[in-house]
Amino acid sequence: MSSEHLFLAKGRCSQSRQRGFTLVEIIVVIILLGVLSAVAIPRIGNVSSYQESSLRSSILGSLRLAQKTALAQHASSVYWVLERPSLDEWQISLVIDADTNDGIPPVDISPPQLQTSIPGDISLSYSVSLDAGGSLAGSLSTGDNLVILYNQLGDMISVKNGVALTSESSFPNVANSVDSSLQFSDRSGDFCLSLTGYNYASTCR
């Protein structure tokens, strides 16, 4: 065989080897497709469930932060505020009032992680028993808010809804004191804030 024929044969062999995939490459692709189908596709297919989970995680995390802030701010009143500015938007903030009798509304001290609105048309209800008798219960619709007051020990002492956030006198005080845990409920289930300020993702005990 001439050198020219050998060169052409080698060229054809190398081209044929470059056209296919190895067994390892095929297995890697299959594994990646499996991971995507298990993780990404359910989230894309059920966006509302993902948004609900995001709101729940944000609420639980911010409640812990509010308790720690109350423990650190001995001479001030610390409030946790959950708002629903629009049908598909939620906002959580922490506010503080150094003097509850000066007529000046509490100051927003929300850290950067709470300054971004949480999207989602989510059904969220709440229920808590009041010291004065009866209960405070309902669901947050557009324009509603729910405000929790912590004491210096990090305990939840008062809850109020429909608070005028620009009016100091509208914020919860001892007149709105509670005598039970605060139960939240969404379509995925319940989560709870106890009187001691501890929160957990299950029905109140």
pLDDT less than 50: residues of the chain: 6-8, 16
Q: What's the pLDDT score for residue 8?
A: 46
Q: What's the pLDDT score for residue 34?
A: 78
Residues 131 and 134: their CA atoms lie apart, in Å, by 8
Within 8 A by CB and 6+ apart from 65, the residues are 94, 111, 114
Considering the chain, what percentage of its residues have pLDDT values greater than 90? 69
Q: What is the 3-state secondary structure (H, E, C) of 126-187?
A: EEEEECCCCEEEEECCCCCEEEEEECCCCCEEEEEECCCCCCHHHCCCHHHEECCCEEEEEC
Summarised one tens digit per residue, pLDDT across range 11-23 is 555 554 556 778 7
Q: Is 82 helix (H, G, I), strand (E, B) or coil?
A: strand
Residues 17 and 36: their CA atoms lie apart, in Å, by 30
Summarised one tens digit per residue, pLDDT across range 1-46 is 555 554 445 555 555 455 677 877 777 788 888 777 666 655 555 5
Q: What's the pLDDT score for residue 40?
A: 61
CA-based nearest residue to 55, from 109, 121, 4: 121
